A = this chain, B = another copy of it.
Amino acid sequence: MRTTQYLVATLKETPSDAVLTSHQLMLRAGLIRKLAAAAGLYSWLPTGLKVLRKVEGIVREEMERAGAQEILMPMVQPADLWEESGRWAQFGPELLRIKDRHDREFCLGPTHEEVVTAIIRDEIRSYKQLPANFFQIQTKFRDETRPRFGVMRAREFLMKDAYSFHVDEQSLEETYQRMYQAYCNIFDRLGLEYRAVLADTGAIGGNASHEFHVLADSGEDAIAFSDASDYAANVEKAEAAAPTIQRPAATRELTKEATPNCESVEQLTQHFNCDAQQILKTLLVEGATEEHPLVAICLRGDHQLNEIKAEKHPLIKAPLTLASEQQITSIAASKAGYIGPVNLNLAIIVDRDAAVMADFICGANATGEHYNGANWERDATISEVYDLRNVVEGDNAPDGKGKLTIKRGIEVGHIFQLGTKYSEAMNANVLNEQGKAVTLAMGCYGVGVSRIVAAAIEQNHDDYGIIWPDAIAPFTVAIVPMNMHRSHRVQEAAEQLYASLSEQGIEVIFDDRKERPGVMFADMELMGVPHRIVISDKGIDQGTFEYKSRRTNEKVDVAMADAVDFLNQKLAL
């Protein structure tokens, strides 16, 4: 592609309304444009669409390789189907509801469980046609209340959604594993660092679910993963491994000390000149039962409470609610910071790591006083040991293999064993081998195709712009001729190289604009073209072109005659 015949559309200034790096770079590199004053609606310009189509292509190939069949369902969906599943009422205002000219109700599809279930209940009648797996790559719409971050959280976006159908859970599990592998293949081929993360199945109640996260410092989610196994989980959901040590025997007497103005762990560590690991934190929260209006939660001083885990405990009220000052004083003559388990007449739920502490410091249930040398059993009672804390960097992985690292991630994929949630509501059955009607088991599998483009940039950029992985670069090679419009030699060499590379199917952007070298370099770096060849009179005098790698900044002079081979070698890496 010649830049004179192409909408380069790079911007020098960073648009003021873009805060996220990928959003800024997608605007500056000419990948997308916001549609007039409409928040969350973007047009994909040629450079952006090239990347999007490459991502789409890889996703499609891996879906087909996994045995999924491509279909295309309508974007506009009748309300009737959503009423069958019960989601017409459940879904919030993100579901854009529409009335047609005959005043019938529809929505713009944010997802297609209802539609695909309606198709399959008519088309598939027998176990012989199962398992079956269908995918589509389609524009979706979610009427986000506050669309932001460019295509990262847009209203209109491109999704790959797949839905699998099974006669039983075992078949679902098999396809789920196959799709898990297909997702790994996709992100491997995209050239992105990612983690498959165990996800919470709470709301939908299926058996298993994984999120796929592209790692990037700007990610919304913190991901904990093992340095020695495939284990990865959202920090919010990651199990803290059981401590490997036994609780040491008590070695100290229980003593009470005056601790004025010591309401935080930090103040206590200073006061006692000790480590936070020696301090036991006690929180009072509202209980879930009449018998236990308040419940005590104990954690080691250096650990943070994980609310999602706490809320799963049957005695603890969800959403988690800290006891009010009034509730606390009904128990003890103490501020919140001086509560401790000694002589506390409540259910005391203790984190696993807190339960193996000995000779610890804790509140004495009286403002301005703490105990030192406290020990479980001897001085305080444990009602139950429970996983209550967020994992931290360096924790043992809960699968017993390696230690946890924590990084931030951007969710770009989600796979889910739905079970019979939709098929039951919508009466989708098949005859099994025994001729008996059984409810279909379903899986669903999403990839945020347009979001991947933004996530790839979050992970791959520097101060000069985007650094595309080769597999999804809009162009693989940039040819930048110096003063081509004045040097016939440079022009001829550039045209020849352009022709040779194009002939081999290599995607080249040939900057034939009458621009200063600095402008051309800046544009090609901003656009993230992985491999750059500079052609100049000076180089031609020496019989060489200059090669530069966008990612490594490696710069080499390459003999003109070897340039095509050299690039082919680089591309094969």
User: Is A569's CB within 8 Å of the partner chain B?
Assistant: no
Q: Residue of B at shortest CB range from A129?
A: B7
Residues of B within 8 A of A123 (CB): 7, 9, 33, 45
User: Is A70's CB within 8 Å of the partner chain B?
Assistant: yes
**Which residues of A77-93 are within 8 A (CB) of B?**
77-78, 80-81, 93
Residues of B within 8 A of A81 (CB): 36
- Using A80-B36, A145-B101 as known contacts, say yes or no to A71 and B96 having CB atoms under 8 A apart: no
- Using A33-B119, A43-B71 as known contacts, say yes or no to A100 and B96 having CB atoms under 8 A apart: yes
A145-B102 Cα distance, complex, nearest whole Å: 8
A44-B138 Cα distance, complex, nearest whole Å: 12
User: Is A49's CB within 8 Å of the partner chain B?
Assistant: yes
Residues of B within 8 A of A143 (CB): 100-101
User: Is A106's CB within 8 Å of the partner chain B?
Assistant: yes
User: Is A122's CB within 8 Å of the partner chain B?
Assistant: yes
User: Is A155's CB within 8 Å of the partner chain B?
Assistant: yes
**Which residues of A116-154 are within 8 A (CB) of B?**
118-119, 122-124, 128-129, 132, 134, 138-139, 141, 143, 145
Q: Return the CB mask of A176-212 against B: 1 if under 8 Å, else 0.
A: 0000000000000000000000000000000000000
A9-B119 Cα distance, complex, nearest whole Å: 11
- Check A98 against B101 for contact (C-beta < 8 Å): no
Residues of B within 8 A of A37 (CB): 78, 80
User: Is A41's CB within 8 Å of the partner chain B?
Assistant: yes
**Which residues of A277-315 are within 8 A (CB) of B?**
none
A115-B34 Cα distance, complex, nearest whole Å: 11
User: Is A76's CB within 8 Å of the partner chain B?
Assistant: yes
- Check A78 against B33 for contact (C-beta < 8 Å): no
- Check A72 against B98 for contact (C-beta < 8 Å): no
Quick one: which of B35, B53, B73, B108 contacts A78, CB cutoff 8 A?
B35
- Check B74 against A156 for contact (C-beta < 8 Å): yes
- Check B132 against A75 for contact (C-beta < 8 Å): no
A108-B78 Cα distance, complex, nearest whole Å: 15
**Which residues of A4-47 are within 8 A (CB) of B?**
4-7, 9, 33, 35-38, 41-46
User: Is A67's CB within 8 Å of the partner chain B?
Assistant: yes
User: Is A52's CB within 8 Å of the partner chain B?
Assistant: yes
A56 → chain B closest CB, angstroms = 11
- Check B72 against A52 for contact (C-beta < 8 Å): yes
Residues of B within 8 A of A141 (CB): 75-76
Residues of B within 8 A of A138 (CB): 139
Residues of B within 8 A of A43 (CB): 71-74, 115, 119
Q: How many residues of A contact B (CB 8 A)?
A: 59
A108-B49 Cα distance, complex, nearest whole Å: 21
Copies of this chain in its oligomeric complex: 2
Q: Residue of B at shortest CB range from A123?
A: B9
A199-B50 Cα distance, complex, nearest whole Å: 34
User: Is A405's CB within 8 Å of the partner chain B?
Assistant: no
- Check B69 against A46 for contact (C-beta < 8 Å): yes
Quick one: which of B7, B50, B129 contacts A132, CB cutoff 8 A?
B7
Residues of B within 8 A of A155 (CB): 76
- Using A9-B123, A101-B145 as known contacts, say yes or no to A156 and B76 having CB atoms under 8 A apart: yes
A13 → chain B closest CB, angstroms = 14
- Using A35-B77, A36-B80 as known contacts, say yes or no to A72 and B49 having CB atoms under 8 A apart: yes
Q: Which of A38, A77, A98 has the most CB of B within 10 A?
A: A38
A69-B71 Cα distance, complex, nearest whole Å: 26
- Check B46 against A71 for contact (C-beta < 8 Å): yes
Residues of B within 8 A of A115 (CB): 35, 43
- Check B75 against A75 for contact (C-beta < 8 Å): yes
- Check B93 against A70 for contact (C-beta < 8 Å): no
Q: Which of A101, A108, A115 has the most CB of B within 10 A?
A: A101
- Check B71 against A118 for contact (C-beta < 8 Å): no
Quick one: which of B77, B119, B156 contacts A75, CB cutoff 8 A?
B156
A35 → chain B closest CB, angstroms = 5
Q: Residue of B at shortest CB range from A68?
A: B46
A69-B76 Cα distance, complex, nearest whole Å: 28
A161 → chain B closest CB, angstroms = 13
Q: Residue of B at shortest CB range from A145?
A: B101
- Check A36 against B71 for contact (C-beta < 8 Å): no
A35-B75 Cα distance, complex, nearest whole Å: 11
- Check B76 against A41 for contact (C-beta < 8 Å): yes
- Check B139 against A75 for contact (C-beta < 8 Å): yes
Residues of B within 8 A of A78 (CB): 35-38, 41
Q: Which residues does A use to contact B, with CB under 8 Å?
A: 4-7, 9, 33, 35-38, 41-46, 49-50, 52-53, 67, 69-78, 80-81, 93-94, 96, 98, 100-101, 104, 106, 108, 115, 118-119, 122-124, 128-129, 132, 134, 138-139, 141, 143, 145, 155-156
What are 17 A-B pairs with beta-carbon distances under 8 A? A5-B67, A9-B123, A33-B122, A35-B73, A36-B78, A36-B118, A41-B78, A43-B71, A45-B71, A45-B119, A46-B70, A50-B70, A75-B75, A75-B139, A75-B141, A96-B101, A138-B139
Task: Please name 19 further chain A to chain B contacts, defined as beta carbons within 8 Å, in addition to the given A37-B78, A46-B71, A101-B145, sorted by A numbering.
Answer: A33-B123, A35-B74, A35-B118, A36-B78, A36-B81, A38-B80, A41-B74, A42-B74, A43-B72, A43-B73, A43-B115, A44-B71, A45-B71, A49-B72, A50-B70, A76-B141, A96-B98, A98-B98, A100-B143
